[in-house]
Structure 1
Amino acid sequence: MKAAVFTKTGPPNVIEVVDLPTPEPGECEVRIELGAASVNPIDTYIRSGAVPLPVQNPQIIGCDFAGTVTKVGSAVERFRPGDRVWGSNQTFFGRQGTFAEQIVVDEQWCNATPEGETDTEAAAGALVGITAHLGLHRTGQLQPGDSVFVNGGTGGVGSSVVQLAKATGAVVATTAGSPEKLERCRDLGADIAFDYRSHDLDEQIRAFLEQSERSGFDLWYETLRQPTLERTIGMMAEGGRIILMAGRDARPEFPLGSFYTQDLSIRGFAMFKASADEQRVCGEAINRLYEAGSWKPQIGTTMSLAEAAEAHRLQEANTLENEGTLSGKIVIVP
């Protein structure tokens, strides 16, 4: 079978497409004929060595997957051949990745794919959907009627936060960088979307809060790699929650006084450290939202397995260099 792998960490050109033996599932694993995989920033960090994790040699890249079960191990209980499944959290902690024609995955990381959802949609929504749900619900304790702010409402995580928060009954504010993207934010459910290039962005946000008769946001879901906590804290309601899930190298200034006098809290989390049970709760919730028409993963572009290195270059250009040329996920269709 064909697979995109690396044998040493480094830039995208360390990725090679090679022939590997078709894997056999272990007793708790399913073998999946891949329909689609997607690219995430964490994939590029693992490949580059920026995030040192145990890897195999060769290491198949990719966390997210969607496809059809072709074979199951002797102890598998939830799936059988022919079932369509999706999931994430591969590549981590020594597990092989997903950029291959056939993959084996422990059934605990798999979710049933809703009827009508394509493999490209399911793969595009895997990591970002679970991340958004974990941050909003397990970590952020989102309640109906809360006000939520998230930067980048057409990005992978941002668009997921907008949809999932709105489905919970929150008032959602977000940002984008073009008229087309601002309109897309509103289509996804945002109550208001601000142009982050505006010279008076903060004044516009505060005017929105005042018109909404709110003292600040109840939940701020931070997606930026360089957060400005002083600005964020100044826009929070008393008792508000700030969620951090990006910015490994960031060292922002922290206004302690205004933070504790407003009874605020900050929580950080890494999606890949959530247990399989925690992620399954998210997966089942996301499936229900898809079936209800409240969740549609955003696909920016599709590429082939042979273009895996170029897909990593495109992801890095938008994650690390802020090119703004991508809206939605990069999906690999083998």
Structure 2
Amino acid sequence: MKAAYINQVGDAGEIQFGELPTPELHEDDVLIKVKAVSVNNVDTFVRSGGFKTNLTFPFVIGRDAVGEVLESGSQVTQFHAGQLVWTNSMGYDGRQGITSEFAAIPAERLNAVPDGVDPIQLIAAVHSAATAVILLQHHLQLESGQKVLVEGAAGHVGTKLIQVAHTMGARVLTTSNPNDFDNLKRLGSDKTLDYHGNWQTSASGVDVIVDTSGKVALQENVNLLALGGKIGMITTPADVNATLESRSFYTTDKQLIGFVISHAELPQLQVAAKVLNDQFAQGNLLDDQVLVKSLSFAREAHELLQTGGVKEKLVLVPDGK
């Protein structure tokens, strides 16, 4: 089969595209014919060695794929041949990736594609949407009626955070370019703030903050929190070596919570998948602008992500699709 793979960690130039054996099907696996894979920043971290994880070489890159079931292992009963399915937790922690014509996926890491949902839009959305669900529900424990501030809200993760928080009954505040205001309101933002201006005066006393851009100083965000407020960190803040006013931080019961989806446990991923499929079936969370390329474009895709050369969500498909 054709696959994008590496023989050692390193820069994007390590990515090769060529023939590898079709993966072996174990009793708890499902063999799929890959229809599309998304390319995420976390894929570049694994490939470069920046995210330390167990890899077996040659290592097929990528973690999120949608495909058609070809065959199931002897212990698998919940999937059938011809069914469309998706996964978002391959390509790290000892599991081979999915940027290939075929992939063997543990059944416990596989989910059905809801009827009528565009598989390209689904796989483009899954990484950001699962991040939003697990972060807001499990780690930050956002409650209905609370105020959540999403900074840099017009990006892939930001738009998903808005929608998930809105469905949870939260009041959503967002910062963005004014050109994005109408779209963010459509997605569920209750208050849109221009990040070029003095937006902080209109965002004080929030219960939860997620900065998707990393452009806001950590102490500045801490100052915006209400008593008992929480910051969810999914990227490094602008002031890398920031110091906190520790006395006021702990005496106001504030929390700083880091989150990397690659550390999410399987039960968290499975709960999130159920939430996502319910939303996908309703036509929600499928709002990404997508740039579709062939699997052989994998090296260039990683280069584009690392240089910031693409705003759309990159999705790769086998040749001829």
The TM-score bracket by the shorter chain reads over 0.9
- Answering whether residue 167 of structure 2 is matched by residue 167 of structure 1, we say yes
- SS of equivalent residue, structure 2 residue 93: helix
Residue pairs, 1:127-276, within 5 angstroms: 127-177=127-177, 179=179, 181-196=180-195, 198=196, 200=197, 203-207=198-202, 209=203, 216-225=205-214, 228-247=217-236, 250-276=240-266
- Alpha-carbon distance in 1 for matches of 2:215, 2:241: 8
Residue 268 of structure 2 corresponds to which residue in structure 1? 278
Show the counterpart of 1:303.
Answer: 293
Matched letter for residue 142 of structure 1: L
Distance 1:3 1:178 in 2: 42
Q: How many angstroms does 1:178 deviate by?
A: 6.1
**Structure 2: gaps of 5 or more residues:** none
Query: Displacement of 1:48 after TM fit?
Result: 1.4
Residue 218 of structure 1: CA displacement? 0.9
- 2:31 matched to 1:34? no
> Structure 1's 182 and 312: CA in aligned 2 closer, same or farther, altered over 3 A?
farther
1:326 paired to 2:319 = no
Identify unmatched segments of 5+ residues in structure 1.
210-214
- Deviation string for 1:169-202 (max 9, x for gaps)? 21112233461x3433223222233333x1x3xx
CA deviation after TM superposition for structure 1 residue 154, in Å: 2.6
User: 1:182–1:310: structure 2 CA closer, same or farther, 3 Å change rule?
Assistant: farther
Other structure's SS at 2:285 match:
coil
Alignment of 1:8-27 (within 5 A): 8-27=8-27
For the Cα contact (< 8 Å) 2:124–2:290, is it kept in 1? no
SS of residue matched to 1:93: coil
CA RMSD of aligned residues (A): 2.0
Alignment-mate amino acid for residue 11 of structure 2: P
Q: CA deviation at 1:297?
A: 4.6
> Is 1:90 aligned to residue 85 of structure 2?
no
1:332 Cα shift?
1.2
How many Å apart are 1:141 and its aligned residue? Answer: 0.8
Shift in Å, 1:117: 1.2
Q: Secondary structure at the match of 1:3?
A: strand
Q: 1:206 to 1:225 in 2, by over 3 A?
A: closer
3-state SS, counterpart of residue 33 of structure 1: strand
TM-score in terms of structure 1 length: 0.89
User: Which deviations, in whole Å up to 9, do the C-alpha atoms of 1:261-309 show, x marking residues without a partner?
Assistant: 3221122222122222211100101111222333225134222111111
1:267 is paired with a residue whose SS is: strand
Tell me the amino acid that sits aligned with residue 314 of structure 2: I
Identical counterparts, % of pairs: 32
> 2-side partners of 1:60 and 1:250: how far apart?
32
Q: Distance in 2 between matches of 1:295 and 1:160?
A: 6
Which runs of 4 or more aligned residues in structure 1 lie more than 4 Å from their structure 2 counterparts after TM superposition? none
Partner of 1:5: 5
SS in 2 for 1:136: helix
Tell me if structure 2 keeps the 8 A contact 1:227–1:252: no
Counterpart position of 1:70: 70
2:307 is the alignment partner of 1:317: yes
User: If the length of structure 2 is used for normalisation, what is the TM-score?
Assistant: 0.92
Number of residue pairs matched by the alignment = 317
**What's the offset of the Cα at 1:225?**
4.3
> Hey, what's the Cα distance between the residues in 1 that align with 2:214 and 2:108?
31
